[in-house]
Structure 1
Amino acid sequence: MQIRKLTYDDLPHASALCLDAFMIAVAPSLSTQGVETFAKVAAAQAFADRMEGDNLMLVCVADGAITGLIELKEGRHVAMLFVAPGSQRRGIGMRLMSAALEQVRDEVVTVRASLSSVAAYESYGFALSGDVGEFAGLIYQPMEKRLP
């Protein structure tokens, strides 16, 4: 298992992984608008556009395939974290989170967690930091982690 930066060649696979995991774990609880919003954010071209900015995107590669992805925005906000449905509960999310946290440039890391991922973020040391919110059909729980 290797953690490395996302490359342009990875984009189709990374996008597909995020969409697959999202459709299983998150989409059933959202409106059509929320699913459409996420599909735009997780499109390969949207990833490519964000790669040009201040977003760190890391992937986990196992047996030649991308099994997980994390995106850290502006060195302080987890914008995305997905593990392939067939690869979950094997420590991939924890390894991606640990690698991303090494790159954090602030004392507090934030995330707008999907409701189905709150328990996972709590296991990574995040705590609830506000009320459930909604943006463009995406329902989220604000969370944060204070770093030592």
Structure 2
Amino acid sequence: MEIQKLSQDDLDSIARLISSVAEVDIFPYFCEQGRAEFQTRVLPDLKTILTESNYLSVKAVISGDIVGVAALRNADYLTHLFVSKSCQGMGVGKALLDYVVKETQAKQVNLRSSINAVSFYESLGFECTGEEGDYNGIRFMPMTLDLSKPESSKAW
């Protein structure tokens, strides 16, 4: 597996990847409004992670196929982390997260985890920082990884 920077040429591939993962892992936790919000807002917003200079956007590639994607905004906010269903549980998500965390100088990384991914992030040292939230039907859990803690920095 290789971790590489995303390029404009990857847009269609990552949109398909994210859509397929969302259909199985995320949409079951959303109401109809949340599904519609995701499809009309999140997917079209993918161009932003490829064109804006304040994003570090990377992909995981196996045998020429994109199997995962991650995007870190402003060096401290994880906006995307998606791994193909066929590669979940193989360390792809951790490798993507490892890459972006090692690239940042931030003292913490924040995110809004999908409900199904909370245990994944907790296993990597993230902690819930509030109650479950809902934005236009998109359910999430606010989480933070404190990189200033000695025990957190050992993992990265």
**So what's the TM-score if we normalise by structure 2?**
0.89
Matches within 5 A, 1:32-71: 32-43=32-43, 45-53=44-52, 54-71=54-71
Matches within 5 A, 1:59-138: 59-138=59-138
Moved more, 112-121 or 29-38: 29-38
| Cα drift, residue 31 of structure 1 | 1.2
After TM superposition, what 4+ stretches of structure 1 lie above 3 angstroms from structure 2? Answer: none
| C-alpha RMSD of the superposition | 1.3
| Cα drift, residue 41 of structure 1 | 4.0
Determine the C-alpha separation between the residues in 2 that align with 1:78 and 1:59: 14
Determine the C-alpha separation between the residues in 2 that align with 1:31 and 1:105: 37
| Cα drift, residue 137 of structure 1 | 1.3
Which residue in 1 is equivalent to 2:153? none
| Cα drift, residue 140 of structure 1 | 0.5
Q: How many correspondences in the alignment?
A: 147
Contact preservation (8 Å) 1:19, 1:42: no
Structure 1 residues not aligned, in runs of 5+ = none
Question: Using a 3 Å threshold, how does the CA distance of structure 1 residues 80 and 41 change in structure 2: closer, same or farther?
Answer: farther
Structure 2 residues not aligned, in runs of 5+ = 149-156
Determine the C-alpha separation between the residues in 2 that align with 1:138 and 1:4: 29
